[in-house]
């Protein structure tokens, strides 16, 4: 927690006693707490307006609407989310974790447990985002390689080139035009689809 700026926390808790405890612990962790009373206010609007680094919320029962809202946040404005609840059935837990929640904590929480949960949730979120980014990058590279291979095959078939010559022709076009190989491949495939139609 020794970052240069404080962590901005959107705290959603209608129980005043729990909210005070959370604010105290979060302040010790160098967090700026923005307290919002309960779930009735639009969480999506508050997340867009405040742009918190962490969302911490208490709820008796995570409603389907809340789960959908958390899923949207996870997809469009990912941030670590910690949910404290009394609901411990497997279906609720599965749904809420699939919605992108970093930690789902059941039962009462004391100061020490809250400290640990926040630290773990922040670390888990960073790891998850890193893995997600690496996966996206790997998928893009694989997609680019498939496009390059497909364009190379098209050149080999239509221009009767060897694989090496097709590759060199694509590479030369990339260098001559200041493009990446995948851009050249996409151009070749676009031209191929026009000629084939």
Both 144 and 75 in one domain: the answer is: no
Within the chain, which residues score under 70 in pLDDT? Answer: 1-4, 37-41, 197
Q: pLDDT over 90 for what percent of the chain?
A: 35
Query: By residue range, what is the domain housing residue 22?
Result: 7-109
Q: Is residue 16 part of a domain?
A: yes
- pLDDT tens sequence across 105-155: 888 778 888 888 888 888 888 888 888 889 999 999 999 999 999 999 999
Domain count, the chain: 2
Both 32 and 105 in one domain: the answer is: yes
Q: Is residue 47 part of a domain?
A: yes
User: What pLDDT is attached to residue 1?
Assistant: 43
Q: Is residue 90 part of a domain?
A: yes
- 3-state helix/strand/coil string of the chain: CCCCCCEEEEEECCCHHHHHHHHHHHHHCCEEEEEECCCCCCHHHHHHHHCCCEEEEEECCCCHHHHHHHHHHHHHCCCCEEEEECCCCHHHHHHHHHCCCCEEEECCCCHHHHHHHHHHHHHHHHHHHHHHHHHHHHHHHHHHHHHHHHHHHHHHHHHCCCHHHHHHHHHHHHHHHCCCHHHHHHHHHHHHHHHHC
CATH at residue 88: 3.40.50.2300
């Amino acid at each position: 927690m020794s970052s240069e700026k404080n962590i901005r926390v959107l705290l959603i808790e209608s129980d005043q006693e729990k909210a005070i405890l959370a604010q105290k612990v979060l302040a010790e962790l160098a967090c700026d707490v923005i307290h919002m009373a309960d779930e009735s206010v639009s969480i999506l609007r508050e997340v867009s307006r405040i742009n918190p680094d962490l969302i911490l919320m208490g709820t008796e029962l995570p409603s389907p609407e809340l789960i959908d809202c958390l899923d949207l946040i996870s997809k469009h404005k990912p941030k670590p989310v910690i949910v404290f609840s009394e609901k411990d059935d497997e279906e609720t837990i599965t749904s809420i974790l699939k919605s992108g929640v970093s930690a789902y904590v059941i039962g009462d929480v004391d100061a020490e447990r809250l400290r640990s949960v926040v630290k773990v949730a922040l670390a888990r979120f960073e790891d998850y985002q890193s893995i997600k980014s690496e996966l996206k990058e790997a998928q893009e590279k694989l997609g680019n390689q498939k496009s390059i291979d497909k364009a190379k095959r098209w050149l080999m078939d239509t221009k009767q080139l060897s694989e090496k010559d097709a590759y060199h022709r694509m590479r030369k076009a990339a260098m001559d035009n200041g493009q990446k190989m995948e851009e050249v491949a996409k151009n070749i495939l676009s031209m191929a689809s026009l000629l084939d139609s």
